[in-house]
Amino acid sequence: MNDRLFLAIIQTISFFDIFSFPLTKEELYRYLWQYPEDISFTTFVQQLENILQETNSIETYGGYYFLVGKRQDIYTRERRVWFVEERIKKAKKAVKTLRWIPFLRGVFICNMLQVTAQKDSDIDVFIVVQKNRLWITRLLLTITLHLFRFRRHGNCVANRLCLSFYCTDDVLDLSQIAIEKPDIYLAYWLILLEPIFTDRSIQKEMEQQNNWLNEYFSPKRMLVTSQNTTTPPARFSKTIHTFFTVAWKGGYGDMIEKQAKELQKKKMDILSQQPEQGSVRDVRISDTMLKFHENDRRSHFCAVWKKKWQALRTTT
């Protein structure tokens, strides 16, 4: 048995097991954790079958691979498909109202929607903005989504957009927010971002700035099944976008940016509630990043992940 590949497989499956998400062999190959060797898909499948015959830690059924005794997770995963499709459809509809907004470079569905979607959950989005225009963009985006009833607020949660994470395009390297090494949740969070609106180059810039992910994932394997669900801008929206981008480019734009910042900082509530058990608060407010994660559970997920795969490695 290929011990190094076995370790990578149980580490990968153990992470997704936290969210009751069994993997297909294609997904297991694509998301394989920290396996440095260049391995073809055909060879991977052959060695995977050999490993299944020699271990009692992993099962396969219906085209899925999962930890022993977790066959019921197949139903959980397949039930999520409808929730995921509905949320992507809703997010794309919401984004159509945003394409006129100047300085907006990218909107991504985040927090591993494919893996974590629930019936009554919201739609977390990660928003990339042109540098020096974070506050203008956030203000226009918040107002627009609120007017069209797409924004999460109060008791309006299910299928609404949660605007909890913004950054400017000069700080796209998100290793700066890692809480430990490896921050496995952040790593998978990044590779599972779902683009629903981007300009021509922002995805490439994201990949280049976050090339530290190559320590954990093979770029060649990641390219095998890469998808792009982005919604292209309409002509009218593009015209308005271009007009305000030019009009607010210089000193006048700097003045508007300053006013937008003053207005919003006054309205930002003090985040005083206690985080959930197993969580920490990660709130960042600056001119380059706005991150309002009051219940950041990355440390908890990492601890659970380590406990799972280390136990499997010991008992196998």
Do 263 and 311 lie in one domain? The reply is no
- Report the alpha-carbon distance of residue 311 to residue 10 in Å, rounded: 10
Computed from CA positions of residues 156, 128, 143, 260, in that sequence, does the dihedral angle turn out positive or negative? positive
Helix (H) / strand (E) element for 291: namely: strand 289-296
**Residues 100-117: what's their mean pLDDT?**
95
Residues spanned by the domain of 181: 82-297
pLDDT confidence band for 231 (50 / 70 / 90): low
Number of domains in the chain: 2
**What confidence score (pLDDT) does residue 226 get?**
44
CATH number of the domain within which 69 lies? 1.10.10
Residues 148 and 289 placed together within one structural domain of the fold: yes
Q: Are residues 232 and 111 in the same domain?
A: yes
Q: Is the same domain home to 107 and 136?
A: yes
Query: Taking the CA atoms of the chain, what radius of gyration do you get in angstroms?
Result: 21
Band (pLDDT 50/70/90 cuts) for residue 237 is confident
Same structural domain, 123 and 228: yes
Q: Identify the pLDDT of residue 225.
A: 43
Please indicate, yes or no, whether residues 108 and 173 belong to a single structural domain of this protein: yes
Backbone torsions φ then ψ of 105, nearest 5 degrees: -105, -25
Same-domain status, 63 and 112:
no
Q: What is the mean pLDDT of residues 269-298?
A: 76
Are the C-beta atoms of 221 and 29 separated by less than 8 Å? yes
- Strands 194-198, 104-109: parallel, antiparallel or unpaired by DSSP? antiparallel
Better-scored residue on pLDDT, 155 or 103:
103
Q: What is the pLDDT of residues 36-81, one digit of tens each?
A: 878 999 999 999 999 999 999 999 999 999 999 999 999 999 999 9
Q: What is the predicted pLDDT for the residue at 157?
A: 87
State the pTM of this model: 0.92
Contacts of 309 (CB under 8 A, 6+ apart): 7, 10, 11, 14
One domain, residues 23 and 159: no
Nearest to 172 by CA among 125, 135, 128: 128
Q: Does residue 105 share a domain with residue 62?
A: no
Strand partners, 285: 290
- Please check whether residues 288 and 175 belong to one and the same domain: yes
Summarize the chain as % helix, strand, coil (round to 5).
Answer: 50, 15, 35
- Residue 155 confidence (pLDDT): 87
Identify whether residues 70 and 88 lie together within a single domain. Answer: no
